[in-house]
Structure 1
């Protein structure tokens, strides 16, 4: 499935800045960053459950927000890009 994941983490404290880094690292393990707080992700239902659990363990639900949008198949391939926007390369493996 194709997902668009966005997040907004409160960074007014050192703890918030740590949460922001941890959220970004969790998302980088599953998808491609296309903007500062936006990831395009191709994953299975099981992987989504694992990512959700990981993110819930990181965020402060009273201060932070994460939104996950399920997209129709091939949405990333048909996306329109304006300005500087290199291809995300969803078909290539993620290397750590």
Structure 2
């Protein structure tokens, strides 16, 4: 499945900054960062359940937010990128 994960973490405190780093690290393990707080992930549905739970366990629902966008198999070809950062091949090798 192709999922876009975006997050907004309150970083006014040290614990918030720590949550931000942890959430980013989790996302980096499963996808490609395409914006500061946006990741494109191509993962099997059963693995997504685990990723989602890790993120939910890390975030503070009173201060932070997570968004998951589920795209179909063919939707990755419908992504239009314009700007400085070079696009990548989501089916290519992911180096962690």
Q: Confirm or deny a common fold (TM above 0.5).
A: yes
Q: Can you list the C-alpha shifts for 1:40-59, whole angstroms capped at 9, x where unaligned?
A: 11011111111011111111
- Relative to its length, the structure with more helix (as a share) is 2
Residue in 2 that maps onto 1:94: 94
| Deviant stretches of 4+, over 6 Å | none
Aligned length, in residue pairs: 96
Q: Can you list the C-alpha shifts for 1:37-92, whole angstroms capped at 9, x where unaligned?
A: 00011011111111011111111111000000101223223311111131122111
Q: Aligned-pair distance for 1:17?
A: 0.3
Gaps of 5+ in 1: none
For normalisation by structure 2, the TM-score amounts to 0.93
Q: Does structure 1 conserve the Cα–Cα contact (< 8 Å) formed by 2:81 and 2:87?
A: no
Q: Does structure 2 conserve the Cα–Cα contact (< 8 Å) formed by 1:2 and 1:73?
A: yes
Q: Does structure 2 conserve the Cα–Cα contact (< 8 Å) formed by 1:3 and 1:41?
A: yes
Residue in 2 that maps onto 1:61: 61
Deviates more, 1:79-88 or 1:54-63: 79-88
CA RMSD of aligned residues (A): 1.1
Gaps of 5+ in 2: none
